[in-house]
Structure 1
Amino acid sequence: MTGVENMVPLSLRGTSAVIADQLRERILDGSFAPGEQISEVQLAARLGMSRGPVREAVQRLAQEGLLASHRNRGVFVVDLDVGDIEDVYRGRRAVEKEAASTVHERGIPAGLAERLEGILRNIELHMNARDWPKLAREDLHFHETMVEAAQSPRLSRMFSTLAAETMLCMSAFDDRYIRPPTAVEEHRRLLDRLLGGDLAEMLAEIDRHMSHSVDSLTRARRERDGDGS
């Protein structure tokens, strides 16, 4: 079944945001493959809508980095190469370290530790079930929760964009990237460093986590492409 066929017709007058949400899900679950062309005409016909809202949805996902428009060729699902992976995590490293510094300065919000503990339990649950899509979402939910603890709308917006690109990487590689039990161990260390109150240790742990993620995703990309270098 193709990506277009997995789109669900909208019985009510839809908005570009609703279409964008559905299209994003179909990209992240692999219905639309990396490098696949997106046809606004086909999408509009499948959804039973005019092309206007569809075009707006496509533009929204292009801004998020999930789609790329090529002049005289069309719009395609991005296929992140090694350089893109490194750049996504460079951005995440900056955002998450700044968020950690802000939380350290202002104090840990009430209930944050409990929320992160709950996410850790979900990560372990999905890891044991080998449910990679759900594990990937909980992984990002953990980091999103830490960033939101800084109570900075701009940091949260920047993370949201980077999270979409991160999900694209993780969903493309599944268990090539997520190697148990590191998913639990690494996030446990992040939580411990946060609660320990040593900012330098926390920032160093974020660096280690991001570097390990880049290494794992780069290796997974090369395994997928048959490049053992």
Structure 2
Amino acid sequence: MTGIDNMVPMSLRVTSAVIAEQLRERILDGSFAPGEQISELQLAARLKMSRGPVREAVQRLAQEGLLVSHRNRGVFVVELDVGDIEDVYRGRRAIEKEAASTVYERGIPAGLVARLEEILRNIAQYMDAGDWPKLAREDLHFHETMVEAAQSPRLSRMFSTLAAETMLCMSAFDERYIRPPTAVEEHQRLLDRLLGGDLTEMLAEIDRHMTHAVDSLTTARRERDGDGSSYA
């Protein structure tokens, strides 16, 4: 079954946002493979929709970084190389460090710790169950929650632009990237540093976390591709 076969026909009144959500899910779950061409005409036919909202949905996902348009060739699912992975996490590092600094300045919002602890329990549960897609989503949810704690609409908006690409990075490698029990331990250390009250330590922990993520994804890519070479 191909990616287009996994798309579900929709009501004519559905919005481009709903189409984008379904298409996003099919990209992130691997139904559409990296490098696969996306045909607006075929999508519209499969969804029983006009091409207008389908085109808007495709443009939305291109803005998120999940699709890329090549002149005179068409639209394709993005293929993230090592440089792309490094750049995604470079952006996240800047956003999350600024969010942490803002939280320290303003104080930890009520309920934040409880929410993060709940997410940690979910991460442990999905780790034990080997449910990598849900684990990856909770991993990202942990970081999203910390950024939202800064109560900065612009920081949250910038983070959201990298969220889909981050999910694509993580979901592409499943257990090769998320090695137990590091997912739980690393996020617990981030929470501990937040509660510790030392901003310098917190920022250093974010640096370590992002560096380890890039290293793990690079290694996972090498294992997947059977490439024993080193990446610069």
TM bin, normalised by shorter chain, reads over 0.9
Shift, 1:12, TM fit:
4.6
Conserved 8 A contact 2:67-2:76: yes
Shift, 1:11, TM fit:
2.8
Match of residue 65 from structure 2: 65
Is 1:197 aligned to residue 162 of structure 2? no
Q: TM-score, normalised by structure 2?
A: 0.98
Structure 1, residues 64-105: CA drift from partner, whole Å, max 9, x if none?
000000001100000100000000000000000000000000
RMSD of aligned Cα (Å): 0.6
Match of residue 225 from structure 1: 225
Match of residue 44 from structure 1: 44
Structure 2 letter corresponding to 1:228: G
Take 2:126 and 2:217, find their aligned partners in 1: how far apart are those partners? 19
Mapping of residues 1-229 of structure 1, within 5 Å: 1-229=1-229
Take 1:164 and 1:101, find their aligned partners in 2: how far apart are those partners? 24
Take 1:228 and 1:180, find their aligned partners in 2: how far apart are those partners? 23
Q: TM-score, normalised by structure 1?
A: 0.99
Structure 1, residues 106-137: CA drift from partner, whole Å, max 9, x if none?
00000100000000000000000000000000
Take 2:12 and 2:127, find their aligned partners in 1: how far apart are those partners? 38
Take 1:37 and 1:213, find their aligned partners in 2: how far apart are those partners? 29
Conserved 8 A contact 2:12-2:49: no
Q: Match of 2:217, SS?
A: helix
Structure 1: 5+ residue runs without aligned partners? none
Take 1:223 and 1:72, find their aligned partners in 2: how far apart are those partners? 34
Conserved 8 A contact 2:99-2:149: yes
Q: Match of 1:155, SS?
A: helix
Structure 2 letter corresponding to 1:117: E
Shift, 1:223, TM fit:
1.2
Take 2:163 and 2:33, find their aligned partners in 1: how far apart are those partners? 18
Conserved 8 A contact 2:12-2:48: no
Take 1:58 and 1:223, find their aligned partners in 2: how far apart are those partners? 31
Structure 1 letter corresponding to 2:23: L
Conserved 8 A contact 2:36-2:77: yes
**In the comparison of the two structures, how many residue pairs are matched?**
229
Structure 2 letter corresponding to 1:28: L
Take 1:156 and 1:228, find their aligned partners in 2: how far apart are those partners? 38
Take 1:121 and 1:206, find their aligned partners in 2: how far apart are those partners? 20
| Superposition misfits of 4+ residues, deviation over 3 angstroms | none
Q: Match of 1:178, SS?
A: coil
Q: Match of 1:76, SS?
A: strand
Structure 1, residues 25-70: CA drift from partner, whole Å, max 9, x if none?
1000111011110000000000001111000000000000000000
Conserved 8 A contact 2:140-2:163: yes
Structure 2: 5+ residue runs without aligned partners? none
